[in-house]
Structure 1
Amino acid sequence: MRAIQITEFGGPEVLRVVDLPDPVAGPGQLLLDVTAAGVNYADTHTVEDSYLSRSTLPMVPGAEVVGRTADGRRVVALTEDGGYAQRAAVWEAMAHHVPDGVTDGQALSLVVQGLTAWHLLRTSARLAEGESVVVHAAAGGTGSLAVQLAKLFGAGRVIATASTAEKRALALELGADAAVDADPSGLKERLVEANGGRKVDVVLEMTGGPVFDASLAALAPFGRLVTYGMASRVPPTPLQAAQLMGRSRSVVGFWLMHCIGRPGMFAEPLAELMAMTADGRLRPQVGDAYGLSEAARAHEDLRARRTIGKLLLDPAR
């Protein structure tokens, strides 16, 4: 089978197309003919070995696939790497039926990004009805879903940030009440202004560095900043306990992998997201589909913030 394999850590340039033996499904696993693989920002960290979990070489990257089983079922699944390939062995417990009316791209949007957005709001932020929510990178895979889910979950005001006018317009179309420039300079002031002069209750933050710092400064008393990434690759200013105590603020970390194997944290919210998508309440934004041989370009575009929505790899080309 054709696959993307890395034999050294680095940037997009280490992603190379190779021919590999087909994987073999072990006990409790399914072998999928992959129709599309998802591309996540976390993949760029995995490839350079800068993610929360360590990577080992050689490796086929890719944490999610959609495809068909030997008996013809269409499923979407999380993987332990190995997704950038024409076939993948996945754990049956991490596979989920894709209902009619949900496309491959939409299904892939819901596994990592959809579940992350759901848990950011429900599990980590514990969003209460009427609270204000800031969604950074609101045109991306997770952000575009978080904007919609925040409204569906009863947020009082949703404030989106994005780097271009086009992306801000998309966030407003998806239901955000306001959209502001994501540039960290003056960001705190723009967030407060967009919330009618009041500090905000919840921030979903995945950039790190000065964006994290500005987001924390914009939090109201009892506000929660949920951090789930560090796309800038710049750490925020170190926190002191007094900074949190002085305004009764919270900083909460989230990593989807901690939901795996915990009752009620994978299949059940994913089924809810699938149902919302099938009946039109939720509109996953599916972006560009790249050929398998274009994986490096997909990573380049993602890192340069040139993309909107969920990126896919097509193993057939």
Structure 2
Amino acid sequence: MRAIQITEFGGPEVLTLADLPEPVAGPGQVLVDVTRAGVNYADTHQAENTYLAASKLPMVPGGEIAGTAGGRRVVGLTADGGGYAEKALALEGALYDIPDGVDDMTALGLIVQGATAWVMLRKSVHLEPGETVVVHAAAGGVGTLAVQLAKAFGAGRVIATASSPEKREFALSLGADVAVDPATPELRKALIEANGGRRVDVVLEMTGGTVTDQSLAALAPFGRLAFYGMASREQPSPISAPSLLRHSTAVVGMWLPHVLTLPGDIMRRAMTELFDLAAAGTLKVVNGGEYALTDARSAHEALRSRKTIGKLVLDPSR
């Protein structure tokens, strides 16, 4: 079968088309004929071995797939990567039927980015009605969905940040109340001004560096920051206990694989609500581009350039 394989760590140039044996399902795994594979920013970290979990070579990247299995249309998380291929193994416990009327692009946008936004808002920060939510990288895969979900879950005000005027306008079109340039020299002040002079209640942050530092400084008493990535590859300043006490603030990390270890099947609850919202037209996955499997490098280059909007997928048939 055709697949994208990585045999050395690095940038997009290490993604190489290869002819590999079809994977064989083991216990708790399901073989899926892949019709679309999701592309995430985390994949760029895995390619250079800078992700939370160490990568092993050789490797076929890709943590999410849509396709068919046993006559069903399904979307799922892969057993151990392998999504950038014509066939891949999905975790049986993280495989979901795609409802009628939901396309592959939408399903793939929901299973990682949508679920990430859902878990952060529902579980990490426990969003309460009327609170102000800051969504950084609001034009990205998670950000576009987080803006919409925050509104659907009762946020009083959603402040989006994005790196270009076009992206900020797009975030406003998704329902954000105001959009801010994260590169502004005094981001803390800009976020507070965008909230009518009041500190903000919730921040969803995946940039790192000074954006994290300035966002923490903008939190109101009992404000919460959920940190789920570091796209800038810049470490934020160390957080001290006294700094948390100063405004009774909280910092929460969120990595989606941990959700699968929780009792109560939180992931299935998330997917059920996300599918319902998508079917009702309340939640829209933004099509950020469909690439041929042979053009996977271009997808990674686009992500790393920070010029993309919405969800990127690969088509293994091309």
Inter-partner Cα distance in structure 1 for 2:233 and 2:286: 25
SS in 1 for 2:170: helix
Name the structure 1 match of 2:44: 44
2:280 maps to a residue whose letter is: D
Cα drift, residue 28 of structure 1: 2.9
Which digits, 9 at most, give the CA deviation of each residue in 1:129-185, with x for residues without a partner?
Answer: 110000001011100100010011110100000011111111111111111112152
The answer to whether residue 284 in structure 2 is matched with residue 270 in structure 1 is: no
Unaligned runs of 5+ in 2: none
User: 5 Å matches for 1:164-243?
Assistant: 164-243=164-243
CA deviation profile, 1:186-233 (whole Å, cap 9, x unmatched): 211111111001110000000000100110111111110110000000
Partner of 2:76: 77
The residue that corresponds to 2:113 in the other structure is: 113
Superimposed CA distance per residue, residues 2-44 of structure 1 (whole angstroms, 9 cap, x where no aligned partner) = 1000011111111000000111122332211100000001111
* Secondary structure at the counterpart of residue 67 of structure 2: strand
CA distance in 2, matches of 1:167, 1:301: 15
Q: Distance in 2 between matches of 1:308 and 1:254?
A: 22
Aligned to 1:284: 285
For normalisation by structure 2, the TM-score amounts to: 0.98
- What's the Cα RMSD here? 0.9
Q: Hey, what's the Cα distance between the residues in 2 that align with 1:65 and 1:204?
A: 25
2: CA distance between counterparts of 1:184 and 1:142? 22
Q: Does 2:91 align with 1:91? A: yes
Counterparts of 1:55 and 1:111 in 2: how far apart (Å)?
Answer: 22
2:309 aligned residue: 308
Counterparts of 1:45 and 1:158 in 2: how far apart (Å)?
29
Question: Does residue 155 in structure 1 map to residue 136 in structure 2?
Answer: no
* Aligned equivalents of 2:65, 2:15: Cα separation in 1: 18
What SS is found at the alignment partner of 2:266?
A: coil
CA distance in 1, matches of 2:89, 2:208: 34
Corresponding residue of 2:2: 2
Q: 1:69-101, CA deviations, whole angstroms, 9 ceiling, x for partnerless residues?
A: 1x3210000012000001011122110000011
Per-residue deviation at 1:238?
Answer: 1.1
**Taking structure 1 as the reference length, what is the TM-score of the superposition?**
0.98
Distance 1:208 1:183 in 2: 12
Q: 1:7 to 1:178 in 2, by over 3 A?
A: same
Unaligned runs of 5+ in 1: none
Where in structure 1 do 4 or more consecutive aligned residues deviate above 3 Å? none
| Aligned residue identity for 2:145 | L
For residue 92 of structure 1, give the secondary structure of its aligned residue in structure 2.
Answer: strand
**Match of 1:139?**
139
Secondary structure at the counterpart of residue 94 of structure 1: strand
Aligned twin of 2:253: 253
Matched positions, count: 316
CA distance in 2, matches of 1:184, 1:237: 18
> What amino acid does structure 1 have at the position aligned with 2:156?
G
